[in-house]
């Protein structure tokens, strides 16, 4: 099977999101999808936002969210995952690159996210994403797909990996 999906993995704060953002800026095809960003208050991380490439924004998780879905001190906001992140993964046209930052424990609490992710990976659309190093069976199975190239990002190799964008240029 042809490799059409590139997934970057690595420890937190190694530069996966920054790498994907740089690649998306350099490609010459339209892209859709989302990035996650830290929400900081007084210099301290208190949560994570969802930021789509079409400028929609939501909250992925926050210390102040009361939710039965939790990762550490953060309550996960399934509503914004389903309402903002998921639609951004479904392009209106078939000439798009799908950007998913990230495939992690928080996002995978959403059944809709997991179903949509599998559908996008099964489609003809190329995907560039970050994925958790560790994870449950679902995350491990995504990494093992025959149409996925899994690349470990480190502070030492992240700059040279920028050239991966050439795979997406037409």
Tell me the pLDDT tens digit for each residue of 55-83.
999 999 999 999 999 999 999 999 999 99
State the Cα–Cα distance between residues 161 and 154, nearest whole angstrom: 10
pLDDT tens-place string over residues 120-142: 999 999 999 999 999 999 999 99
Residue 167 φ then ψ, to 5°: -60, -25
Please tell me the distance from the alpha carbon of residue 129 to that of residue 122, in angstroms, as a whole number. 14
H or E segment to which residue 131 belongs: strand 127-131
Give the span between the Cα atoms of 5 and 57, in whole angstroms.
Answer: 25
Q: Which CATH number fits domain 5-168: 3.40.50.300, 3.30.300.30, 1.10.3720.10, 3.40.50.920?
A: 3.40.50.300
Assess contact for 84 and 115: CB atoms under 8 A.
Answer: no
Contact status, residue 167 vs residue 27, Cβ threshold 8 Å? no
pLDDT at 167 over 80: no
Q: Are 36 and 80 in contact (CB under 8 A)?
A: no
Spell out the residues 6+ positions from residue 131 whose beta carbon is closer than 8 angstroms to its own.
7, 8, 9, 102, 103, 104, 139, 142, 143, 150
Residue 28: the pLDDT is 81
Structure-token match 């964008």, residue found:
165
Q: What is residue 136's predicted lDDT score, i.e. its pLDDT?
A: 94
Spell out the domain ranges in the chain. 5-168
Burial class from Cβ neighbours inside 10 Å (0-12, 13-18, 19+) for residue 118 reads middle
């Amino acid at each position: 099977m042809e490799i059409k999906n590139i997934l970057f993995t690595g420890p937190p704060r190694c530069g996966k999101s920054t790498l994907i953002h740089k690649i998306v800026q350099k490609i010459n095809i339209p892209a859709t999808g989302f990035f996650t960003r830290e929400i900081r208050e007084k210099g301290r991380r208190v949560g994570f936002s969802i930021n789509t490439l079409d400028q929609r924004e939501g909250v992925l998780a926050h210390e102040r969210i009361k939710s039965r879905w939790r990762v550490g001190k953060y309550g996960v906001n399934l509503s914004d995952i389903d309402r903002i992140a998921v639609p951004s993964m479904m392009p209106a046209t078939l000439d798009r690159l799908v950007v998913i930052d990230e495939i992690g424990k928080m996002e995978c609490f959403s059944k809709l996210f997991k179903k949509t992710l599998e559908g996008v990976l099964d489609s003809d659309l190329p995907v560039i994403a970050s994925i958790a190093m560790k994870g449950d069976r679902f995350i491990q199975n995504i990494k093992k797909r025959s149409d996925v190239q899994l690349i470990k990002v480190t502070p030492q190799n992240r700059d040279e990996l920028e050239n991966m964008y050439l795979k997406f240029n037409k």
